[in-house]
A and B are shown apart, each in its own frame.
Chain A
Amino acid sequence: MISSDVWKYFFDEYKHIIVAFILILMMPLAIPIPTATEMIIYGLYAMGFNIALGFTGMLSFGHAAFFGLGTYGAAIALRYFNSSVWTAILAGAVLAALGAFFIGALCVKKRGVYFALLIAAFGQMFYFLALSPLKHITGGEDGLKEIPILSIEFPFFIDLAKPFPLFLFTFFIVAVSVLLMHRFLNSPFGALMQGIRENETRLQACGYSVLFIKIIAFTVSGLFSGLAGALSTVYLGYGNLGSLYWLTSGRGVVMTLLGGMNSFFGPFLGAGIFIYFEDTISVMTARWEVFVGTMVILLILAFPDGILGTLEKRFRKTRKAETSIAQAIGNR
């Protein structure tokens, strides 16, 4: 893992984030707009997931639970309460955050594979509950449909039925989220999260309540993954049951590790690449998954720390960590 100070000089500068935003905004020039929208939605999902994994060291195999809570939170608000899109997205994110908080509080004492599988168990429970017993609310296998055509009224009118305004709206939410995440992860609390990842017993011995920090970190992670789920409902126009299926969790893990869990934007990049391959190759061949699966395998073998992670490491070798330390102490 790249040291926190070295992290800082790479991503602390807001100009790196601005550059990333510009690149994303340019995507519609080369990539079909719906694909681009999907890419950034899953980018947010993966980054939310990585708050738990890459930063705090908490692996979960069930983040679909929170993506799905966000999806259905938004869908229910839109379908049954006729809420505005803003409210729906908020509802989805809050529902997911609450889910992450309670599940996290229950499970956080367990570690490693046990914790990962526990979250997976919850994800599966939610999926099967939504599939059958709660069919009358969630719409079962077909998902929650009959959502009215979406648009934003406030502060100015945006027709979300059109791809490009939808993309811009989604980008806006994702961009704000990225900035918030960046702030959060670079806060003193964020440093503690990394301490947990590095050596949680030592951190506890330094006077911090590790359980409490983990719960908060997991809640924030669920919040952003859930926000992505809510955005996916707005994007698709209905609440998709697949968002709760464990494959969604698995894809989140793949995207994150593909891009590199040791970097801030890595998961975003991994998600983008994964979705792009999925959408583009499926047009070319009916059996795209072979290629995505094979691609994933090849990329894993080629990039030991994920794509961005490996690139960052190579780039870092040409700089000395020392220079940033001086900045860390005195001159900021």
Chain B
Amino acid sequence: MFGIPLNILLMQAILGLALGAVFVLLASGLSMIYGLMDVVNFAHGAYYMLGAYAVYTMSLFTGNFGLNIALSVIIVAGLGALTEITVLRPLYKRRNPLYPLLLTFGLSLAIPDVIKIFYGLMGKAVQYPEMFMGSFSVGTVIIPKYRMFVIVITFTVLIGLWLFLKKSNLGMFLRAATRDKEIVDVLGINVAGIMTLGFTIGIALAALGGSVAAPMVAVEPDMGVAMIMQSFVVTVVGGLGSLGGAIVGGIIIGEIVSFTSLFAGAYADVAIYFAMAVILLIRPRGLFGEIGRE
């Protein structure tokens, strides 16, 4: 097809899926934060970057990759919670809803440069963990092991998230608060705590995205800057505020990027923003979003 052998195409599809997995992690966090707090979190890319740097730092101390990732996510999520409580919360009561957004933008400037102070300007390399080095074959298709790992872990985490939201009490409060904060408040539930929790989960997802992406991409202070805009594309395509949408959107955009870089590299980026514009014009709520969720 297109003069390219099928097994190459399939491999590209797997790569696209792995890339999409990272998008899914970021977009679902972004979507959750937007759905819960009506805040477009411009700092999301910065926390993704922190996740990557955390893994790098951990790898200097322990060799256990699983432990690295877990610790990284916990630490960065903790930072996220701290951010929400200290600087974001005071802004909710302000009349102008743009101020929390403005603050996240300020953070997106400040955080990378704190990293630059401590880690320098040059990128860092994070090694692939031993057990996931190399690749395996299914028929004639070569699949890199690590990519498979990324896909599997994203899938697992999302199932866990879905179960949490659907089956647990806390998850139910979160979903309720996304729809109507006032009622949740009237029912005696601590809305502020819910918001912090939601924000923390969102950041944890971004951090996980950065942690797993670390061996695959260039770990540098500005790695979040490009990611954030692309995450917006995914969230828009999937639907702001929808978890399922983030998943589908992530996969779609991951595949688009993967294949356009194969066929027409220069236009790859133009393509995804064009897709974003088309979706916004024809079906603004995205594939799975709700109408009226502005």
Contact A118 B102 (CB under 8 A): no
Give the complex CA separation of A254 and B106 in angstroms.
Answer: 8
Residues of B near A124 (CB, < 8 A) are 229, 269, 273
One of A33-41, A44-52, A93-101, A125-133 at the interface: A125-133
* Mask of A257-299 contacts with B, CB within 8 angstroms, 1/0: 1100100000000000000000000000001111011101100
Most buried by A among B98, B229, B240, B267: B229
Q: B236 at the A/B interface (Cβ < 8 Å)?
A: yes
Partner of A125, one of B103, B106, B107, B270: B270
Q: List the A side residues contacting B65 at CB < 8 Å.
A: none
Chain B residues within 8 Å of A293, by CB = 106-111, 113
- Tell me the minimal C-beta distance from B236 to chain A in angstroms: 6
User: Which residues from B are CB-within-8-Å of A125?
Assistant: 270, 273-274, 277
B91 within 8 A of A: yes
Cβ-based interface call for A163 (8 A): no
The docked-state distance in angstroms from the alpha carbon of A128 to that of B103 is: 27
Q: Which of A109-117, A201-209, A215-223, A323-331 interfaces with chain B?
A: A109-117
**Which of B233, B236, B277 has the largest count of A CB atoms less than 10 A from its CB?**
B277
CA A294 to CA B113, docked complex, whole Å: 11
Instruction: Give the contacting residue for B102; candidates A246, A253, A290; CB below 8 A.
Output: A253
Report whether A294 and B117 are in contact in the complex, using a CB–CB cutoff of 8 Å: no
CB of B74 closer than 8 Å to a CB of A: no
Given contacts A114-B294, A257-B98, contact A250 B105 (CB under 8 A): yes
- Asked if A132 meets B284 with Cβ closer than 8 Å, knowing A297-B110, A300-B91, A300-B102, the reply is no
Is there contact, CB below 8 Å, between B294 and A257? Answer: no
Contacts A113-B40, A128-B270, A290-B110 given: A121-B280 contact, CB under 8 Å? yes
Interface string of A226-264 (1 = CB under 8 A from B): 000000000000000000001100100110011001000
A301 to B113, CA, bound (A): 21
Contact B109 A106 (CB under 8 A): no
Do the beta carbons of B273 and A121 come within 8 Å of each other? yes
Number of A-B contacts (CB under 8 A): 115
Q: Pick the contact of A247 from B40, B225, B273 — CB < 8 Å?
A: B225
Q: Quick one: which of B129-149 are within 8 Å of A by CB?
A: none
Q: Give A171 Cβ to nearest chain B Cβ, in Å.
A: 28
Give the total of B residues in contact with A, Cβ under 8 Å.
Answer: 44
Q: Is A192 an interface position by the 8 A CB rule? A: no
Say whether B281 contacts A110, CB under 8 Å. yes
* B282-294 contact mask (Cβ, 8 Å, vs A): 1 or 0: 0010000000001
B276 CB-CB contact with A under 8 Å: yes
A210 within 8 A of B: no
**B114 at the A/B interface (Cβ < 8 Å)?**
yes
A304 within 8 A of B: yes
Instruction: Specify the chain A residue showing the minimal Cβ separation from B267.
Output: A133
Whole-angstrom distance between the alpha carbons of A290 and B95 in the complex? Answer: 27
Q: Mark B192-206, 1 if CB is under 8 A from A, else 0.
A: 000000000000000
**Minimal beta-carbon separation of B172 from chain A (angstroms):** 26
A120 contacts chain B at the CB level, 8 A cutoff? yes
Number of A residues contacting the other chain (C-beta, 8 Å)?
41
Nearest B residue to A115 via CB reads B280
The chain B residue sitting closest to A305, CB to CB, is: B96
**A107, A124, A247, A254 — which one has the most chain B CB atoms within 10 A of its CB?**
A124
The complex places the Cα of A89 from the Cα of B132 at a distance, in Å, of 57
Chain A residues with CB under 8 Å of B225's CB are: 247
A10 within 8 A of B: no
Task: Write the nearest CB–CB distance from B74 to chain A, whole angstroms.
Answer: 25
Nearest residue (CB) in B for A113 is B294
Which residues of chain A have C-beta atoms less than 8 A from B96's C-beta? 257, 261, 304-305
Instruction: Give chain B residues whose Cβ lies under 8 Å from the Cβ of A246.
Output: 229
Tell yes or no: A122 within 8 A of B by CB.
yes
Is B209 among interface residues, defined by CB-CB distance under 8 A? no
B-side contacts of A301, CB under 8 Å? 87, 90-91
Nearest A-chain residue to B294, judged by Cβ: A112
Task: Indicate if B99 sits at the interface (CB-CB under 8 A).
Answer: yes
- Closest CB in chain B relative to A262 CB, distance in Å: 8
B23 within 8 A of A: no
11 more CB-based (< 8 A) A-B contacts, given A121-B233, A292-B110, A297-B107:
A59-B98, A112-B294, A113-B294, A121-B280, A124-B269, A125-B277, A253-B98, A257-B96, A290-B113, A293-B113, A300-B91
Interface residues in chain A, defined as those with a beta carbon under 8 Å from any beta carbon in chain B? 59, 106-107, 110-114, 117-118, 120-122, 124-125, 128-129, 131-133, 246-247, 250, 253-254, 257-258, 261, 287-290, 292-294, 296-297, 300-301, 304-305
